[in-house]
C-alpha cells in the first residue's frame, strides 16, 4: 500500500508540474511582448518643437516674413473687384476695337479696288502704281486679320487670364507686315523713297527682328530684343508724325489718321511708349515691380485711346463733308453712286472705333486704379515687415 501511495503522489506531482509548465508558457510570451513594447515605447524619436511654441520664434526674421505673407494678402477685396472688372472689360474692348478695324478696311478695300480699276497698264509708271495699290489692298486684308486676332485674344484672356506668347508674337509679326506693306506701297506710288517712307520700311523690319530675338529663352536675347523694339518704335513714330499713307493711296486730300486709325501725333507717341512698356512689362517679373508695368501699359492705352477717338471722329466728319459736296465738287464728284455709298459706310463704321477708343480710355483708368492699389498694398506690407523686424525680443 505504501508503494502505491508513493507512486500516486509521484504521478500527481508530475501532472501538476506539467500543468504548471503549460500554464506558464503563455504568460512568459505575453511578458516578452510587453517588454518589447516597453522598449519600443521607451525608444522614441525626438520631436522638434513647433515654431509657434517657442517664444523667440516670433522675432526670427524668416518666420516673421513667412507669417506676414500669410496674414497680408496681395489682393484684398477692392483689388479683386477691380481685377474682376478688368477681366470682363478686356473682351468687350477688344471685340469693339476688332470690329472697328474690320469694317472700315472692308470699305477701304472697295474704294482701293475702284481706284485700281481706273488705272490702265500703259507704261512702267502705271505698273508701279498698280503694284502699290495691290500692296495697300494686302495691308487692308492683314488689318482685318489683326482685328480678328484682337477679338480672339480678348476671348482667350477672359477664359485663361493670359494670352500665350506665341499669339502675341504672331500679332506683332502681322502688325509689322501691315506697316511694311504700307511703306513699300507708298514708295511705289510715289516712285521714290524719301526719308519718312524709308523709316516706314525700316521700322517694321526692326520690330520683326526684335520679336524673333525676344522669343529665344535667354537674358541676352531679351535685352537685344528690347533695344531693337525701342529703336523700331522711334523710327515708326518719326514716319507717322510726318507722312500720311492712305492719302497717297486714295488720292484724297483729307486728314487721314495714322496706320492704326489714330491721330498721327498720338499714334507716334503711343509707338514710343508702347515699345518701352513692352520692355518694362517683360523685365519687371517680381510682384513688387509689376505695378510699374501696369502704369506704363495704362499710359499707352490712354494715349492711343484718345488718339483713336479723336482721329476717327475727324475722319468720319471729313468723309461726310466730301459726300455732301459730291454732286458739285470734291474727290467724289463724277464717281458712281456705289462709291459714294461705300464712303458713307466707311464714315459710319468709324463709330465703332470711336466707341472702342472711349472703352480703351476707361480701361486705362481702371489700370491706373489697380496699379495704385498694388503700390499701396506693397507699401503697407513693407511697413509691417519693418515693424516685425524691429520688435525687441522678450
Over residues 340-368, the pLDDT tens digits come to 999 999 999 999 999 999 999 998 888 88
Q: What is the C-alpha end-to-end distance of the chain, expressed in Å?
A: 93
- Tell me the pLDDT tens digit for each residue of 311-339: 999 999 999 999 999 989 888 988 899 99
pTM of the model: 0.73
Q: Is residue 11 part of a domain?
A: no
Q: How many Cα atoms within 13 Å fall on the side-chain side of residue 389?
A: 10
- Rg (the chain; Cα; Å): 39
Grid cell at residue 39? 522598449
Cell matching residue 17: 508540474
Domain count, the chain: 1
> 285 lies in a domain?
yes
CA distance 3 to 316: 141
385 in any annotated domain: no
The 3-state DSSP class for residue 218 equals coil
Each residue's pLDDT, cut to its tens digit, for the chain (394 residues) gives 444 444 444 455 555 555 544 544 444 444 444 444 454 444 545 554 444 444 444 444 444 444 444 344 444 445 567 777 777 888 899 999 999 999 999 999 999 999 999 888 888 889 999 999 999 999 999 999 999 988 988 888 777 766 667 777 888 899 999 999 999 999 999 988 888 999 999 999 999 998 888 888 777 888 888 888 889 999 999 998 888 888 888 888 888 888 998 888 899 899 888 888 877 776 665 555 567 777 888 899 999 999 999 999 999 999 999 999 998 988 898 889 999 999 999 999 999 999 999 999 998 888 888 888 877 776 666 666 555 555 555 5
User: Residue 161 has what DSSP assignment?
Assistant: S
Measured CA angle at 201 (ends 199, 202), to 5 deg: 65
CB-based contacts of 181, cutoff 8 Å, min separation 6:
135, 136, 138, 139, 142
Neighbours of 392 (CB within 10 A): 5
Residues ≥6 apart with Cβ < 8 Å to 310: 263, 266, 357
CA distance 130 to 119: 7
Task: Kindly state whether residue 43 falls inside one of the protein's structural domains.
Answer: no
Closest by CA to 114, choosing from 341, 318, 353, is: 341
Asked if 266 and 241 count as a contact pair (C-beta separation under 8 A), the reply is no
Q: Is residue 130 a part of any domain in this protein?
A: yes
Residue 269: enclosing H or E segment and its boundaries?
helix 264-283
Residue 392 sits at the vertex; the CA angle it makes with 391 and 394, to the nearest 5 degrees, is 120
Tell me how far CA of residue 146 lies from CA of 153, 170, 249, 339, 356, in angstroms. Answer: 10, 10, 21, 25, 15
Contact present, 186 and 132 (Cβ < 8 Å): yes
The sign of the dihedral angle between the CA atoms of 267, 269, 272, 273 is negative
Let me know if residue 22 belongs to a domain: no
What's the rounded Cα separation, in Å, for the pair 185 and 125?
13
Contact between 308 and 262 (Cβ < 8 Å)? yes
Q: How many residues does the chain have?
A: 394
Query: Does residue 308 fall inside a structural domain?
Result: yes
Reference 304, options 93, 145, 132, 103; nearest CA is: 93
Q: Are 311 and 261 in contact (CB under 8 A)?
A: yes
Q: Which of 113, 94, 93, 117 is nearest to 105 (CA)?
A: 113
Specify if 372 maps to a domain: yes
Domain extent for 85? 81-380
Amino acid at each position: 500500500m505504501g508503494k502505491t501511495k508513493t507512486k500516486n503522489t509521484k504521478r500527481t506531482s508530475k501532472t501538476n508540474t506539467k500543468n504548471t509548465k503549460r500554464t506558464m508558457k503563455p504568460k512568459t510570451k505575453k511578458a516578452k511582448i510587453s517588454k518589447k513594447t516597453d522598449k519600443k515605447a521607451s525608444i522614441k524619436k525626438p520631436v522638434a518643437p513647433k515654431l509657434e511654441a517657442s517664444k523667440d520664434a516670433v522675432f526670427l526674421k524668416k518666420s516673421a516674413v513667412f507669417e506676414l505673407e500669410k496674414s497680408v494678402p496681395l489682393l484684398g477685396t477692392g483689388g479683386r473687384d477691380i481685377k474682376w472688372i478688368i477681366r470682363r472689360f478686356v473682351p468687350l474692348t477688344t471685340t469693339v476695337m476688332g470690329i472697328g478695324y474690320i469694317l472700315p478696311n472692308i470699305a477701304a478695300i472697295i474704294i482701293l479696288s475702284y481706284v485700281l480699276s481706273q488705272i490702265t497698264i500703259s507704261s512702267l509708271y502705271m505698273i508701279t502704281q498698280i503694284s502699290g495699290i495691290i500692296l495697300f489692298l494686302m495691308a487692308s486684308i492683314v488689318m482685318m486679320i489683326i482685328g480678328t486676332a484682337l477679338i480672339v485674344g480678348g476671348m482667350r484672356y477672359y477664359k485663361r487670364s493670359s494670352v500665350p506668347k506665341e499669339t502675341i508674337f504672331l500679332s506683332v509679326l502681322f502688325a509689322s507686315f501691315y506697316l511694311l506693306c504700307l511703306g513699300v506701297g507708298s514708295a511705289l506710288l510715289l516712285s521714290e523713297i524719301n526719308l519718312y517712307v524709308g523709316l516706314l520700311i525700316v521700322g517694321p523690319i526692326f520690330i520683326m527682328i526684335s520679336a524673333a530675338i525676344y522669343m529665344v529663352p535667354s537674358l541676352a536675347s531679351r535685352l537685344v530684343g528690347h533695344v531693337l523694339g525701342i529703336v523700331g518704335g522711334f523710327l515708326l513714330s518719326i514716319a507717322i508724325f510726318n507722312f500720311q499713307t492712305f492719302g497717297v493711296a486714295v488720292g484724297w486730300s483729307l486728314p487721314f489718321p495714322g496706320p492704326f486709325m489714330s491721330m498721327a501725333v498720338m499714334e507716334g507717341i503711343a509707338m514710343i511708349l508702347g515699345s518701352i512698356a513692352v520692355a518694362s512689362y517683360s523685365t519687371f517679373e517680381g510682384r513688387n515691380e509689376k505695378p510699374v508695368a501696369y502704369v506704363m501699359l495704362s499710359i499707352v492705352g490712354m494715349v492711343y485711346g484718345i488718339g483713336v477717338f479723336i482721329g476717327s471722329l475727324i475722319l468720319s466728319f471729313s468723309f461726310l463733308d466730301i459726300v455732301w459736296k459730291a454732286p458739285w465738287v470734291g474727290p467724289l464728284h463724277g464717281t458712281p453712286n456705289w462709291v459714294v455709298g461705300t464712303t458713307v459706310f466707311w464714315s459710319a463704321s468709324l463709330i465703332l472705333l470711336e466707341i472702342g477708343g472711349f472703352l480703351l480710355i476707361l480701361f486705362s483708368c481702371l489700370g491706373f486704379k489697380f496699379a495704385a492699389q498694388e503700390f499701396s498694398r506693397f507699401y503697407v506690407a513693407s511697413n509691417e515687415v519693418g515693424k516685425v523686424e524691429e520688435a525687441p525680443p522678450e
